[in-house]
Amino acid sequence: QVQLVESGGGLVQAGGSLRLSCAVSGSIFSSNVMSWHRQAPGKQRELVATITSGGKTTYVDSVKGRFTISRDNAKNTLYLQMNSLKPEDTAVYYCKVSSGLQTYWGQGTQVTVSS
């Protein structure tokens, strides 16, 4: 059974930084895509960043230059380094793994940025 557990969320002032982690347990294909998504109150969940098993990354325009997605394949862990945080980054952040035909989600971690 595959499980994803996020950590690292919290309350931070605007301009601050946080690092989210997503630990993946269970069996997944070595070729997969990992991603971070977020959902703000009253809004739809949106894709924030993706990274392939080969290290190719993509970002939504609103976080380019501020967020960095990375992964440690040996540890089966996904990261999201978030710098220069803004109040509009406030949301529940979720990690996702797409492996073969399967998709797995974490339970989410709250990020709150105060102005």
Distance CA(90)–CA(38), nearest Å, equals: 9
Q: How confident is the model at residue 20 (pLDDT cuts 50, 70, 90)?
A: very high
From the DSSP assignment, how many helices (H) and strands (E) are in the chain? Answer: 0, 11
**Residues 32-71 pLDDT 10s:** 899 999 999 999 999 999 999 999 999 999 999 999 999 9
Residue 1, pLDDT score: 87
Residue 5, pLDDT score: 95
Residues 6+ apart with CB under 8 A from 109: 6, 7, 8, 9, 20, 92, 93
- Angle at the Cα of 16 (from 11 to 22), degrees rounded to 5? 65
Residue 76 contacts residue 25 (beta carbons within 8 Å): yes
**Residues 73-104 pLDDT 10s:** 889 999 999 999 999 999 999 999 998 899 99
